[in-house]
Amino acid sequence: MSDYDAIVVGAGIAGLGVATQLQQAGKKTLLLEMYPKAGGRMQSYDLPGGYRVDIGLHMIEMGKKGYCHELGTRVGKEFEWAAFSVTLDLYEGGKWQDMQTFIQLTDEEKTSFIELMKGIAEMGEPDFKAWDSRSFDEWLDRNGLTGSLREVWENMSMIMTTIPDAREQSAGECLYIAREALIKGRAVLIAAYPRGGMWGVIGPLVDAFQEMGGELRLGARVEQVVFEGRKVAGVKVARRGSNPIAKEWRFVSTDLVTAPLVVLALPIWHLDKVLDFDRRYSPLPGWWLKRIEDIRGERTGLLGYIIATRRPLYERTVFMSALKSPRTGLPLQAFAPTAFDPGVAPPDRYLLVTDNVAEPWELEDKFNLARLMEQHWEDVKELYSFEDGEVEFAVPYYTTGCDGLARKPGLTGDFKPDVQAPSVDGLFFAGDTYLGRGLAIEGASRSAILCAERILG
């Protein structure tokens, strides 16, 4: 008899979402997380003085109209949302401008733009699939977009994909995101901020899982998925404090925890940490292993700052963007969390989160990363007109894989790995690198719903 009915590895939004749905359905579920707190790439931190910050720049596509909110509703939790952003401010010519000011259209151009929006709103999944292997740059060319209107679209598609070059962006995914926003919010890009930051989503999911009787183990590192033939048998978990040898030279001792069902809520670039990719020993088919190996390097990167100040640096409840920063030359994204929810900072204190979109290789060399951080800091001071003395603190951060599998042609829609492993029984996946359209957290939420539906039938 197994220890559990199901084991879920990874307590980010996808792992929490799947685990809670399985527990709700009556399956005795164990959720294992290697970090000392839940949240994955959505972790939040309470800092001295009354600040709450997230890992970098996070907003959630669609808010209460999206799959993230639906995930909470499915497990009995209603997330609270602060203000929504349904527009975009752009930096051009040394100043920030709202989109309406930036775009100057003739009556004829306005008519064409409206017709284009109507066409996107009427698109369906076959249309997105037809563009999944083609670039957004090609779609812009096909529709004759030029000038400031094209630049706005390129800013929005950069935000949708975290990829600077429209030639590298999947048109199918960009059009899907735009269609959802147009239908549900009458805008091309909708961003929302949960009250209390990302913990406003993660906290209620943790509560739901534990209230239903689920077991969450933090600081538990899974070393291997165990199979008996072609059936999942459980996982091996690193044993704590059992080996005094320095980590670099230590062979990890493990304990077996058994279950006939394992869900790996890990990004595909971490699968080789828990699955044996040696074709001689793996029960998984070679074609699937090769596919994962081929695409696991396809991710995007960010570097930036979480800045606390004694005066607001930006007060509009909008997302901000620039295609090219003055010094780094990289695209910029930013928003002011306290403009959306003043409760994430103490009274009379304000937060601004900024980032540059970068290729992972630009962040892997620590010296190049340091240069970019210095340049980005000077860029941010210029763009928001402040001096070092006005800053309470500035927390630097960087990440690769910030938005899951890169939204490039041939990597979106049905090209993404399925939520169910082929040729073996009992192995599933969830997260923003697996099947499920949508931007980052929204895609991870949809994947969690798809995974649970596939398991439960």
Residue 149 reports pLDDT greater than 90: no
Token pair 């828990």 in the structure block, residue: 274
Query: pLDDT above 70 covers what percent of the chain?
Result: 100
Q: How far is Cα 131 from Cα 93, in angstroms, rounded to an integer?
A: 34
In the predicted structure, residue 242 carries a pLDDT above the cut 80: no
pLDDT at 439: 85
pLDDT (0 to 100) of residue 9: 99
Q: What is the pLDDT of residue 424?
A: 98
Dist. CA 129–CA 109, nearest whole Å:
28
What 3-state class would DSSP assign to 357? strand
Q: What is the 3-state secondary structure (H, E, C) of 181-245?
A: HHHHHCCCCCEEEECCCCHHHHHHHHHHHHHCCCEEEECCCEEEEEEECCEEEEEEEECCCCCCC
Encoding tokens for residue 457?
Answer: 């039938």
pLDDT at 58: 87
From 196-205, 282-291, 398-407, the region with the lowest mean pLDDT: 398-407
Q: Is 117 helix (H, G, I), strand (E, B) or coil?
A: helix
CA distances from 122 to 141, 183, 329, 443, 452 (A): 20, 9, 36, 21, 29
R_g (Cα) of the chain, nearest Å? 22
Confidence at residue 393, expressed as pLDDT on a 0 to 100 scale: 97
Residue-wise pLDDT for 338-353, tens only, equals: 999 999 999 999 999 9
pLDDT at 301: 92
Q: What is the mean pLDDT of residues 32-61?
A: 93
- Nearest Cα neighbor of 29 from 17, 41, 40, 20 is 20
Report how far apart, in Å, the C-alpha atoms of 196 and of each of 199, 203, 327, 394, 443 are: 6, 10, 33, 20, 21
Closest-CA residue to 13 (of 43, 34, 39): 39
- Judge if pTM exceeds 0.85: yes
pLDDT of residue 186: 80
- Residue whose C-alpha is closest to residue 441's, from 88, 55, 75: 55
Asked if 6-80+198-297+405-456 and 87-189 have one fold, the answer is: no
Average pLDDT estimate for 211-238: 98
CA–CA distance, 259 with 370 (Å, rounded to integer): 45
Over residues 206-225, the mean pLDDT reads: 98
| pLDDT at residue number 189 | 78
Q: What is the pLDDT of residues 172-192, one digit of tens each?
A: 999 999 999 899 888 877 889
CATH number of 87-189: 1.10.405
CATH number of the domain at 6-80+198-297+405-456, out of 3.50.50.60, 3.30.2270.10, 2.40.50.140, 3.30.465.10? 3.50.50.60
Q: Where are the domains of the chain?
A: 6-80+198-297+405-456, 87-189, 301-400
pLDDT of residue 3: 98
What gap in Å lies between CA 58 and CA 307, rounded to an integer? 14
List the structure tokens of 67: 């799959």
Q: 418 vs 64, 80, 214, 447, CA distance in Å?
A: 26, 31, 26, 9
Average model confidence (pLDDT) across the chain = 94
What local confidence, expressed as pLDDT, does residue 57 receive?
Answer: 83
Segment 381-395, tens digit of pLDDT: 999 999 999 999 999
Q: Rounded mean pLDDT of 46-51? A: 96
d(CA 425, CA 50): 48
- Torsion, Cα 395 396 402 408, to 10 degrees, reads 140
pLDDT of residue 45: 95
Tell me the per-residue pLDDT of 114-136, one tens digit each, with 9 for 90 and over: 888 899 999 999 999 999 999 99
Question: What letter would DSSP give residue 75?
Answer: T
* Encoded tokens for 225: 């998925």
The Cα 9–Cα 34 span in angstroms is 9
Dist CA 61 CA 67 (whole Å): 9
pLDDT of 105 > 80? The answer is no
Residue of 152, 7, 172 whose CA lies nearest to 91: 152
- The DSSP output letter for 316 is S
CA 417 to chain centre: 16
- The band of 402, judged by pLDDT with boundaries at 50, 70 and 90, is confident
Give yes or no for residue 359 having a pLDDT over 80. Answer: yes
Taking CA atoms, 212 is separated from 102, 203, 452, in Å, by 50, 14, 16
Q: Confirm or reject CATH 3.30.450.40 for domain 301-400, answering yes or no.
A: no
Q: What is the pLDDT of residue 403?
A: 83
Cβ atoms < 10 Å from Cβ of 181 = 25
Q: Which residues of 252-286 are buried (b: 16+ CB within 10 A; e: fewer)?
A: eebeebebbbbbbbbbbbbbeebbeeeeeeebbee
